[in-house]
Amino acid sequence: MTQLKAALPRELLASVVVFLVALPLCMGIAIASGMPPAKGLITGIVGGLVVGFIAGSPLQVSGPAAGLAVLVFELVRQHGMAMLGPILLLAGLLQLLAGRLRLGCWFRVTAPAVVYGMLAGIGVLIVLSQVHVMFDASPQPSGLANLTAFPQTVLQALTPEGPGNAWQAGALGLGTIAIMWGWERLRPQRLRFVPGALLGVALMTLLSLWLALPVNRVVVPANLAEAIDWLRPADLLQLANPHLLVAALALAFIASAETLLSAAAVDRMHSGQRSDFDRELSAQGVGNMLCGVLGALPMTGVIVRSSANVQAGAQTRLSAILHGAWLLAFVVVLSSVLQQIPVASLAGVLVYTGFKLVDFKAFRGLGRYGRMPMVTYAATALAIIFTDLLTGVLLGFALTLLKLALKAARLKISVSHLDTPGHLELRLSGAATFLKVPALARALDNVPVCTTLHVPLAQLSYIDHACLELLEDWGRANAGNGSVLVIEPRGLKRRTEGRARMAAGLGA
């Protein structure tokens, strides 16, 4: 009890910082997802009050994520807002089961090139869609359509006869971006806890009210309960649609991967309690199931709010829980304040966030591991931009598996003469898999009759049944013409045992 009292001031301050970061992001991500802003606030509240209490990563903050905005936008456009609840309920159930089955670590084996490429593609799509919202226009249904429609949107904004007051909205959005960019580089150390997104939105809101600008503003119900669309049991029957099942699987996987990668990053920021990935995955499942029942946005663990939490000095889960309480209190008591915020300013926050998701430093860093990771990054991002999120991610996985297959198929084969006449050595180095059976067969066909063929396995990292069977078949088939096959596995055995002893020593 004494420790809690001592920690309470620190956790209160951290929770206020996280709340200030989360408030504009929750609404902006909802708008980018094609949903009312209140839906994002509900998800932020659930992420704090529910997931924060049971999370396996105590310093990670959960809420609506920009990384899922593109997927949610597409789901809402294709199947309607009512179907997001059942999809999210199923996705949350899959996350809960995965956590209970202790599969959390497996979601972290996703190749970094695929994850970075996915985030870059999502970031570009967010920018392409939100620049239209920033000019009080409607986004197009695809990245390519948003790109081609952008010149017309800008032209209308610059034309005095254009519809509405697009140029005024655009100025507010650009002003928000400029303030966020400048604050990130020039903010005083004493005010480092003030988030640039909140500062930009607040200043542009005050400016729009002072000038009485007729721009689109956030629509938030006076009563938060009005924003809740309870899940209807009849909608659950629609999950028999294979497209919805695939959508739920994609949502569960992407949300889980993003959450656990974020949790791993948060662990590197502090020296306190480490994350329990299985518990975190289960907690996210519970949160997403609840959001599905309430008709809110999906949630993940989010790195921007989590890093703000750590930097503000949080050391327990109390800060994440309290940030949800602040969100709830603000929406209930001061919803009229939220209704004054220009939509264009929130779109500016998302445009800036989208640019940050395209991490060129990560792209250059992948070059240390060869060209293939960079190709995977670029192909994943471009496929997401020009097709859809699921196709891009699947392409990234396919390229990763192709790289593994090509690496596993590397095998050097050579035949050399030994000092003893009539004795040859078939030297194999690398991995002898079924993919190399044709090349190995050609080498064996060139061995003369009446030869004693030695095959040492010491230089092989792996040999599968197909290659061993090919060698044994050659020995049996050529035994009648005087040939002898001598397979020498001792070197491989000694090497394996040596590695095992070395690993045991390291483990001790």
Identify the pLDDT of residue 1: 53
Residues 399 and 416 in one domain: no
Structural domain containing residue 88: 2-403
Closest CA to 41 of 345, 325, 351: 325
Residue 349 in tokens? 């926050």
Residues 392 and 417 in one domain: no
Spatial neighbors of 392 by CB under 8 A, at least 6 apart, are: 117, 118, 121, 380, 381, 382, 383, 384, 385
Rg of the chain, C-alpha, whole Å: 29
Identify the pLDDT of residue 208: 93
Residues 430 and 502 in one domain: yes
Identify the pLDDT of residue 492: 43
Spatial neighbors of 130 by CB under 8 A, at least 6 apart, are: 32, 139, 347, 348, 350, 351, 354
What is the DSSP code string of 146-160? HHHHHHHHHHHHHST
CA gap 464, 116 in Å, rounded: 34
Identify the pLDDT of residue 204: 94
DSSP state letter for 192:
T
CA gap 219, 206 in Å, rounded: 17
Closest CA to 41 of 272, 339, 480: 339
Residues 263 and 352 in one domain: yes
Half-sphere exposure of 223 (CA within 13 A, CB side): 3
Residues 56 and 184 in one domain: yes
Identify the pLDDT of residue 163: 55
Residue 501 in tokens? 């002893």
The residue among 349, 383, 403 that closes a domain is 403
Residues 446 and 397 in one domain: no
What is the count of structural domains for the chain?
2
Residues 458 and 378 in one domain: no
Identify the pLDDT of residue 161: 58
The residue among 379, 403, 427 that closes a domain is 403
The answer to whether 117 and 376 have CB atoms below 8 angstroms apart is yes
Residues 47 and 161 in one domain: yes
The answer to whether 381 and 392 have CB atoms below 8 angstroms apart is yes
CA gap 373, 113 in Å, rounded: 5
Q: What is the CATH number of the domain that holds 454?
A: 3.30.750.24
User: What residues form DSSP beta bridges with 426?
Assistant: 415
pLDDT tens digit at each of 508 positions of the chain = 555 566 777 888 889 889 988 988 899 899 888 899 999 999 999 999 999 999 999 999 999 988 888 889 989 988 889 899 999 999 999 999 999 999 887 766 677 888 888 888 888 888 888 888 898 888 877 777 888 888 888 877 777 555 557 888 889 999 999 999 999 888 887 877 778 888 999 999 999 999 988 888 988 887 888 889 999 888 888 888 888 999 999 899 889 988 988 888 788 888 888 899 999 999 999 999 999 999 999 999 988 889 888 887 888 999 999 999 999 998 888 888 888 999 999 889 888 988 888 888 888 888 888 888 899 999 999 998 888 777 888 898 899 888 877 776 788 899 998 888 889 999 998 888 887 888 899 999 888 888 899 999 888 888 888 888 999 899 888 888 888 888 887 444 433 333 333 333 333 3
DSSP state letter for 426:
E
Closest CA to 436 of 463, 456, 457, 455: 463
Residues 396 and 428 in one domain: no
Residues 434 and 465 in one domain: yes
Residues 379 and 417 in one domain: no
Residue 504 in tokens? 């045991």
Identify the pLDDT of residue 501: 33
HEC per residue, 361-373: HHHHHHHHHCHHH
The residue among 376, 403, 430 that closes a domain is 403
Residues 360 and 455 in one domain: no
